[in-house]
Structures are given as structure tokens and as C-alpha cells.
């Protein structure tokens, strides 16, 4: 506990970079793109952010920060509050349970694990939302979101990698 | 010890999220206000991050306009000539309509435009169809105001902050709008289903709709003024479901208008009692 505290303190302002980077991804997700069809299949960029930082710098992204990020995303998206917080915290805990050492390997391995994670994320997100509205919602667009998230993974992690360099 | 602490906080925040999800369903005022404060605070950041996209879109629009300026000009000249002839006919109809309404003593509600606003944020989600606009209570916007553009009905405001507001689009799964079939005047409900083709609910069994039939607001419920274009019947499925193509292209919204509709009082019947009431009421107001 003391060790992590000193680590966080030594990073100073840099400690908030993971939080700010995911916040930026949230804002990117809610811009009015005005592109037919594509507008409905926005990739889960925040999922990529939470997964990336949970694997590479978990001490910089405490569970409270993930909760706040999920809450903000729900508010900006207009989705039920608590939904994204719940989903993102579960993802972070999944990474912790798997163990960082297991995931902190080469890029392709990480991507493959992420593919499985995002499929589960998309399905559970659809299931909870359907349950919330008590109506089976159309799942066609969820496939689009899953595929786009997988496709965006290298781009977003590449950008987050640039942010991560400040810690080296 | 550290692991225990982490696990405890994870369980705590998971339970907190679940509690918010379950109790937030009731849309309490506290949650509504919190949401409004948060999105209001984020609007400036969203606008700044959006600058490159707006600039790019503006440039591509400009190039498109320059490329089509000659053909557009020709088309507009033809359209202008056609509209001029239609203007004469419609002016005659307006006068006729007013005269007939006066004869019947029909009172129309008043529609006032509160503000024109820009769309600053979009849900971009298959499950939630709402947008944030850059006008709020400081501009006179209140919860339940109708949001329209030049093509027709866009939605209504559901959460209003000081300088921004959330607009629920007509195709959101939570949206229900009282509409009517223009041809027969039958009142029905337009229910969103998150697709671009919301459906008609409560269609009387003895009424028939056809593909292409126009759908207008009925004015019931007091949010939307009557006779605003909503869309037209796009498809009638084998199960008898009537699907509507909205007049407004919900994927290409940039600017909208927030309007307020005030329902007129019931027409006063021409009876001696009503006449006395009619004349005494303003006097009472003057005394105050």
C-alpha cells in the first residue's frame, strides 16, 4: 500500500494522465459525427482505455476513477447511470484476476485476449440494456460496435502508448 | 492487505453502480439535476475537441457547394418560379382559413420559437438516441419543449441545464408522440424503437394506412403543436406493423429550434353566461 502511494506521489501530475486520456476518449465518443449508420456503431473506446491502463499501469487507474469515468460516460451518452461504471469496473477486475503478468506480454497476445473480452462486453452490455428496458433490443449494431472496437484497438493503444512514455 | 482493500473497494463500487442503475430508473430529480450539471460542465470541452471536425466538415461542405454552384443555381431558379405561383395560392388559402376559423370561433394555440441551437453532442449508440444542444434554461428552454427543424419534428427536451439541454429524439425507445394520419385524421401514437423507422401504435382496426401516407403531429398532449410534419408511412409489415420514415434526417442534424406550444383555451360558446364571463375576466385582471 505504502509502495503504491509513494509511486503515485512520485508521478505527481502524471498520475492523472490515464484518467484524462480515457476522459478524452469519452468526449471523442459523443461528438456529433453526422455519418449515417457509422454513428450508431461507435466503438467502445473507453473499454480499450480501461483495459490498456489496467494492464500496463493499474496503480494509476484506481477503481474509483473507473467508476467516475463510467458515470461521466453514462451522463454524456444519456444512458442509464451506473451501467457503464459497472461494465468498466468488471472489465478492470477481470484484468486483475487474470493477473497483469499474464496479459503484459506481446501485442498480438493482448489483442487476442481483448477480442474475447470485447465480445463478452458487447453481449453483456446488450443483455443488461435489454433487461433495463424490458425489451429485446436489436443486436445487429452491437456486432458492428464489437468489430470496430477490435479494429480501433491498435490505433487507440498506439496513442495511449505515447502517453505511457511519459512514465519511462 | 492491499489486495483486500482493492477487492473491498471494487465490490463497493460494483454495488454502488448496481444501486444507481436500479434506483436511477425512477429518474429522480436529484439524478436529473446531477446529470444536467455534469453535461453542462462538459459542453465547453466537447465544443473545443469538436473544432477540428467542424472545420473539416465546413471545408468539405464549402468544396461541395463550390462544385455544385451552377447546377444549384439553375435548380433554385426553377424552384423559385414554382414557389412564386404556389405562394399566391397559399396566401388565398390562408385568408380563407382565417375567415372560416373566425366564423367558427376556433382558437389556435400559440407557437413561439424560444431559441435556435446547435447540436454539440450525440449519443452515437444503437440503444440510446438523444443529443445535447447548446441552449438551456438561461435561453428560456424548459423540460418538455418541442424541438424541430425546417423539415419537421426532431424530439423534445428531457433534461435542461443552464446552458445546455438533452433532447430525446423521436426514434428513441422511450419516445412516444401523439400523431395523426394526415389523410384520415386518425389519432395514433408514434413509438420509437431505436431504428430510423419508428412505428405507429394504437392504430384502430377499422382504419387503413397506405405506404406514403403523411404523418403529422396531432397536437394532443400539449408538447407539439398540431400539423407539424413527422414523416410518412414507409412500410407496412406482414404483421401489420406500420413503419414511418421520419421527415427529419436524424443522422444529419446540425441546428434545431426549440419551440413552445401553448394550448388555446376552449372556444367560448356564444351564450349569455359565457359573454359575461368573457367581459368580466379582463376587468378583474386590470384591478390587480
pLDDT tens across B97-119, in order? 888 888 887 777 788 889 999 99
Report pLDDT for B222.
Answer: 82
Report pLDDT for B26.
Answer: 76
Asked whether residue B41 is domain-assigned, the answer is no
Strand locations in chain B (E): 110-122, 130-133, 146-149, 152-160, 165-169, 176-181, 187-191, 199-201, 214-217, 229-236, 242-246, 255-262
Asked whether residue B45 is domain-assigned, the answer is no
Asked whether residue B90 is domain-assigned, the answer is yes
Q: Above 70 in pLDDT, residue B284?
A: no
Closest CA to A71 of B272, B120, B235, B24: B24
Chain A residue numbers with beta carbons less than 8 Å from the beta carbon of B201 are none
Longest dimension (CA), chain B: 86
Report pLDDT for A145.
Answer: 94
Q: What is the pLDDT of residues A109-150, one digit of tens each?
A: 888 889 999 999 999 999 999 999 988 888 888 999 999 999
Q: What is the pLDDT of residues A79-111, one digit of tens each?
A: 999 999 999 999 999 888 887 666 667 888 888
In chain B, positions 117-146, which contact chain A (CB-CB < 8 Å)? 119-128, 130-132
Distances, alpha carbon B141 to alpha carbons B156, B160, B222, B281, in Å = 11, 7, 16, 30
Report pLDDT for B246.
Answer: 95
Look up the domain containing B152 and give its range: 117-261
In chain A, positions 125-164, which contact chain B (CB-CB < 8 Å)? 126, 128-129, 132-133, 135, 137-138, 140-142, 145
Rounded distance between C-alpha atoms, residue B113 and residue B134, angstroms: 15
In chain A, positions 90-129, which contact chain B (CB-CB < 8 Å)? 90, 92-93, 96, 126, 128-129
Q: Average pLDDT, whole number, for chain B?
A: 86
Rounded distance between C-alpha atoms, residue B166 and residue B173, angstroms: 15
Q: Are residues B139 and B197 in the same domain?
A: yes
For testing contact with chain B, the best of A1, A28, A30, A143 (most B CBs within 10 A): A30
Q: Are residues B149 and B247 in the same domain?
A: yes
Question: Which CATH number characterizes residue B149's domain?
Answer: 2.40.10.340
Note whether B121 and B132 are within 8 A (CB). Answer: yes
Q: How far is B258 from chain A (nearest CA, A)?
A: 18
Note whether B199 and B244 are within 8 A (CB). Answer: yes
Q: Above 80 in pLDDT, residue A36?
A: no
Q: Are residues B185 and B204 in the same domain?
A: yes
The answer, for B161 touching chain A at a CB cutoff of 8 Å, is no
Find the range with the poorest average confidence among A34-43, A115-124, B190-199, B227-236: A34-43
* CB atoms inside a 10 Å sphere around CB B2: 10
Q: Above 50 in pLDDT, residue A32?
A: yes
B285: pLDDT confidence band, cut at 50, 70 and 90?
A: very low
Note whether B115 and B135 are within 8 A (CB). Answer: yes
* CB atoms inside a 10 Å sphere around CB A113: 18
Asked whether residue B124 is domain-assigned, the answer is yes
What is the predicted ipTM?
Answer: 0.88
Q: Are residues B101 and B164 in the same domain?
A: no
The gap from C-alpha A127 to its chain's centroid, in whole angstroms, comes to 18
Q: Are residues B252 and B124 in the same domain?
A: yes
Q: Are residues B159 and B95 in the same domain?
A: no
Asked if B131 lies within 8 A of A32 by C-beta distance, the reply is yes
- Buried (b) or exposed (e) across B12-47, using 16+ Cβ within 10 A? ebbebbeebbeebeeeeeebbeebbebbbebbeebb
Note whether B213 and B182 are within 8 A (CB). Answer: yes
Q: Above 60 in pLDDT, residue A9?
A: no
Asked whether residue B217 is domain-assigned, the answer is yes
Rounded distance between C-alpha atoms, residue B215 and residue B131, angstroms: 23
The gap from C-alpha A137 to its chain's centroid, in whole angstroms, comes to 23
DSSP letter (8 states) at residue A147: H
For testing contact with chain B, the best of A31, A54, A78 (most B CBs within 10 A): A78
Q: Above 90 in pLDDT, residue A75?
A: yes
Asked whether residue B6 is domain-assigned, the answer is no
Q: Are residues B103 and B235 in the same domain?
A: no
User: Cβ contacts of residue A163 below 8 Å, gap of 6+?
Assistant: A17, A18, A21
Chain A residue numbers with beta carbons less than 8 Å from the beta carbon of B126 are 40-41, 137-138, 140-142, 145
- Buried (b) or exposed (e) across A134-153, using 16+ Cβ within 10 A? eeebbeebbebbbbbbbeeb
Report pLDDT for A5.
Answer: 46
Chain B residue numbers with beta carbons less than 8 Å from the beta carbon of A75 are 34-35, 38-39
Q: What is the pLDDT of residues B167-223, one digit of tens each?
A: 999 999 999 999 999 988 899 999 999 988 999 999 888 888 889 999 999 988 888
Q: Are residues B203 and B134 in the same domain?
A: yes
Q: Are residues B92 and B187 in the same domain?
A: no
Q: How far is A14 from chain B (nearest CA, A)?
A: 20
Q: Is B245 helix (H, G, I), strand (E, B) or coil?
A: strand
A13: pLDDT confidence band, cut at 50, 70 and 90?
A: confident
Rounded distance between C-alpha atoms, residue B245 and residue B203, angstroms: 17
Instruction: Using CB atoms, pick whichever of A33, A75, A145 lies closest to residue B39.
Output: A75
Q: Are residues B128 and B223 in the same domain?
A: yes
Q: Average pLDDT, whole number, for chain A?
A: 87
Q: Are residues B153 and B196 in the same domain?
A: yes
Q: Are residues B95 and B165 in the same domain?
A: no
Asked whether residue B72 is domain-assigned, the answer is yes
Note whether B230 and B177 are within 8 A (CB). Answer: yes
Asked if B49 lies within 8 A of A28 by C-beta distance, the reply is yes
Q: What is the pLDDT of residues B239-282, one digit of tens each?
A: 888 999 999 999 889 999 999 988 765 544 454 554 444 444 44
Domains contained in chain B, number: 2
Asked if B19 lies within 8 A of A82 by C-beta distance, the reply is yes
Q: How far is B263 from chain A (nearest CA, A)?
A: 30
Asked whether residue B211 is domain-assigned, the answer is yes
Amino acid at each position: 500500500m505504502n509502495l503504491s502511494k509513494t509511486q503515485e506521489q512520485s508521478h505527481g501530475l502524471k498520475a492523472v494522465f490515464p484518467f484524462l486520456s480515457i476522459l478524452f476518449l469519452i468526449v471523442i465518443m459523443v461528438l456529433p459525427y453526422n455519418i449515417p449508420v457509422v454513428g450508431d456503431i461507435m466503438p467502445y473506446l473507453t473499454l480499450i482505455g480501461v483495459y490498456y491502463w489496467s494492464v500496463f499501469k493499474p496503480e494509476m487507474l484506481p477503481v474509483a476513477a473507473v467508476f467516475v469515468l463510467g458515470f461521466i460516460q453514462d451522463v454524456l451518452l444519456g444512458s442509464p447511470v451506473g451501467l457503464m461504471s459497472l461494465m468498466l469496473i468488471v472489465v478492470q477486475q477481470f484484468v486483475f484476476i487474470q493477473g497483469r503478468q499474464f496479459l503484459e506480454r506481446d501485442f498480438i497476445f493482448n489483442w487476442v485476449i481483448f477480442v474475447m473480452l470485447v465480445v463478452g462486453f458487447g453481449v453483456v452490455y446488450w443483455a443488461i440494456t435489454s433487461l433495463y428496458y424490458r425489451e429485446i433490443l436489436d443486436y445487429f449494431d452491437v456486432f458492428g460496435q464489437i468489430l470496430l472496437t477490435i479494429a480501433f484497438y491498435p490505433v487507440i493503444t498506439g496513442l495511449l502508448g505515447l502517453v505511457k512514455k511519459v512514465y519511462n | 492487505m492491499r489486495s483486500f482493500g482493492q477487492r473491498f473497494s471494487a465490490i463497493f463500487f460494483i454495488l454502488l453502480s448496481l444501486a444507481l442503475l436500479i434506483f436511477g430508473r425512477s429518474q429522480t430529480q436529484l439524478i436529473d439535476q446531477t446529470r444536467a450539471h455534469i453535461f453542462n460542465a462538459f459542453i465547453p470541452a466537447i465544443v473545443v475537441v469538436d473544432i477540428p471536425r467542424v472545420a473539416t466538415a465546413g471545408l468539405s461542405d464549402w468544396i461541395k457547394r463550390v462544385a455544385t454552384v451552377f447546377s444549384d443555381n439553375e435548380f433554385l431558379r426553377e424552384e423559385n418560379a414554382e414557389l412564386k405561383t404556389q405562394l399566391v395560392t397559399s396566401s388565398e388559402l390562408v385568408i380563407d382559413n382565417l375567415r372560416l376559423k373566425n366564423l367558427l370561433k376556433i382558437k389556435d394555440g400559440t407557437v413561439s420559437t424560444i431559441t435556435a441551437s446547435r447540436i454539440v453532442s450525440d449519443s452515437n449508440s444503437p440503444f440510446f438516441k438523444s443529443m445535447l444542444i447548446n441552449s438551456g434554461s438561461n435561453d428560456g428552454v424548459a423540460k418538455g419543449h418541442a424541438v424541430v427543424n425546417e423539415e419537421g419534428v426532431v424530439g423534445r427536451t428531457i433534461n435542461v441545464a443552464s446552458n445546455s439541454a438533452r433532447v430525446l429524439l423521436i426514434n428513441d425507445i422511450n419516445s412516444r408522440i401523439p400523431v395523426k394520419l394526415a389523410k384520415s385524421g386518425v389519432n395514433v401514437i408514434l413509438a420509437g424503437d431505436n431504428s430510423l423507422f419508428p412505428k405507429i401504435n394504437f392504430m384502430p382496426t377499422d382504419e387503413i394506412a397506405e405506404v406514403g401516407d403523411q404523418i403529422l403531429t396531432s397536437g394532443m398532449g400539449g408538447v407539439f403543436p398540431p400539423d407539424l410534419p413527422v414523416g410518412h408511412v414507409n412500410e407496412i409489415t406482414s404483421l401489420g406493423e406500420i413503419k414511418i420514415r421520419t421527415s427529419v434526417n436524424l443522422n444529419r442534424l446540425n441546428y434545431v429550434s426549440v419551440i413552445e406550444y401553448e394550448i388555446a383555451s376552449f372556444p367560448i360558446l356564444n351564450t349569455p353566461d359565457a359573454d359575461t364571463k368573457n367581459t368580466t375576466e379582463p376587468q378583474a385582471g386590470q384591478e390587480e
